[in-house]
Each structure stands twice: as structure tokens, then as C-alpha cells.
Homo-oligomer: A and B are copies of this chain.
């Protein structure tokens, strides 16, 4: 069950290794006749190029890497990453590049993984996800000279191209929508402030609130878990001037909060409207179904993978964004309750 090498093919075809290499790679230097003969033999022998040998010879690993550092339980329930991965794979397709995935428990471990990948030449480049404010990874990868594409931003760093979704505009659209329904007290239940996308959305939220003159709009931070989302919702809704609409930074928190709010005896959207970020099957399944911002997550992953491949190929790559965000309205959002109607 020994796998054939080009030497075997060369012997079989009665030519040199070099000729076989040229033939198999479709480069000039061999006649049409020998080329077809070699290809036939390779096919018959079930030959495939040894990725190790090729990597050693041309210095390319033939793989890109991505590290996810989130606690495993949060990771499990958020569809985001799986959809992202599916998009990346779709872009890589059956090409010569494959995806190396690592789940890291924390940020430092992730840095170590990148360094190891680089030292071992395991990957040609990496995708950086879940960007933080003042993220150490950015300087780390540029320092070791590892090609990288950032998911998030835009970043305004000439040395690191980024792929982004226009979350800011979507936040504006959501607030426009809520304001049109008459909402004035809106709370943004955001993720941890150290994430860059949290900051982007928060700033857009503040800007849109000011534009619409919603003086009572505000943001509260959570750690993205279902408990913290539910707890945040409970806290703001029992306060003196409860909001009439909540915007959640992920779907899990929105669903958890939905349960918590109903336990408080409030109705959705009768008493309070819900808008979730990142539409997923989850939003569709719960009752009432959740109004949500749909991002083309798979396209996003594909875009980033494509940029990284071009970057590795030595091309000049510019920041690029997918703007096709969409607000999908469902039963969880509606007109603001008439004063005195509450409870």
C-alpha cells in the first residue's frame, strides 16, 4: 500500500524526475505526447503530490490558520464561528490550501500558537478574529512577518488588511427603525468593551442616538454569556425609567433575556421590543421570533480567506467590507407601548 512518488512515475515512463514534475504541473518543457503519457501513469497509480515535500521545496505550507479563543461553552452555542468556517472553506474550496483550526483557552495561549505556527512554518498566514482594543496580536504577527488578515475593523493600519462588516451602519438602521416605532428609551446590551466590534457598535449607537435625539439611550456591558444577558435585561427593566426596546449584541443573550423578561411578567413586544445581533436559526425558533440583524457571515469568512490568499501570493491587498447587512423584522419588535399601558 505504498504511495507512489514522482520517481516511480519517472521510472515507469522512462523519463527523469524533472520531466515528470514539469508534466504534472502543466509547465512547458515536455512534449504533448510524454505529458499525456505521464499524466495517464500518474492517474493510474493514484499519485498525489506530497504536501510535505512540496512545502519543503517551495517554502509554502499550503495552509492558513485560525485561532479561536473563547470558552468552549460559549463557543458551542454561537453559530457565528461555524458559519464563518463554512464560508472560509467554501472559498478555499478544493484548492491546495487547507484550514488549520485551533481553540485556545486564552489570549496568551493564542499568541504562543501563532509564534509556534510561524517557527514551524505550519501556515502561510493567519486570520485574526475577535479583535480587541489595543490587540497585542497585531504587533506580534507583523513583528514575525506573518501574513495576516484581520476580521473586524476597518483598522486603518497599512500593514494589516482587514475585512469588515459595516456594523456601524446597521446599528444606525436599527435605531432608525426603533425610533420610527416611537421608541425613545433604548438600551444596547453589548459585549465586553475590550472587543473592538463592541466599541464600533457602541460608538455607532451613541452617534445614532444623538442624531435621533434619543437622550435616554445607553449601553450596558456583558460577557456575552446567556446569564449575563438575561441579568442585564432584568436589571434595566426593573429600573426607574425602563427602556422600551433592547438591542442585544448576540442571539444567545437575546434568547436568554426573552425568558427572563417573560418571567418578570412583561410581554415582548407588548412592553419591550427586542432586536438581536446576528440572525440565526435560533432567532427564528423562539417565540416570539426575534427581529435581528443578519450579517452575511459566510461571505465574510470567504472574503477574509480570499484576501489572505492574495496577501500570501504577494499581492497588494486593501481593506474590504461587506455592506450587505440586513435588518430582519419579526414578532419581537413593535410599536412603543402607549403610556399607562404598561404592566
Contacts and interface: CB of A to CB of B under 8 A. Distances in A.
Given A1-B144, A280-B77, A287-B259, A101 B85 contact: yes
A86 B77 CA distance: 12
B51 A120 contact: yes
A310 interface: no
A73 B281 contact: yes
Given A56-B56, A61-B52, A262-B287, A280 B76 contact: yes
A145 interface: yes
A318 interface: no
Interface in A275-309: 280-282, 284-287, 289, 298
Contacts of A81: 82
Interface in A6-60: 46-53, 55-56
Which range holds the interface residue count of chain A? 35 or more
Given A50-B121, A82-B81, A145-B1, A226 B281 contact: yes
Interface on chain A toward B: helix, strand, loop, or mixed SS?
Answer: helix
A215 interface: no
Contact of A285 (B101, B119, B120, B255): B255
A82 B86 contact: no
B46 A286 contact: no
Interface in A160-209: none
A76 B72 contact: no
Contacts of A49: 119-120
B51 A53 contact: no
A107 to B, nearest CB: 15
Contacts of A47: 119
B52 A226 contact: no
A3 B285 contact: no
B226 A285 contact: yes
A122 B98 contact: yes
A197 to B, nearest CB: 19
A292 B102 CA distance: 29
Contacts of A90: 72, 103
Q: Which of A82, A85, A116 has the most CB of B within 10 A?
A: A82
Contact of A82 (B55, B82, B99, B118): B82
A259 B281 contact: no
A324 interface: no
Nearest to A225: B281
A51 B122 contact: yes
Given A83-B72, A121-B50, A286-B259, A101 B101 contact: yes
22 contacts: A1-B144, A3-B121, A48-B118, A48-B120, A50-B121, A52-B52, A52-B55, A52-B56, A52-B121, A63-B100, A72-B87, A72-B298, A76-B79, A76-B281, A82-B82, A85-B103, A89-B101, A90-B103, A98-B100, A99-B100, A226-B284, A255-B285
Given A76-B83, A76-B86, A259-B285, 10 more contacts: A51-B61, A51-B121, A76-B281, A94-B112, A94-B116, A98-B122, A99-B102, A252-B285, A259-B289, A282-B282
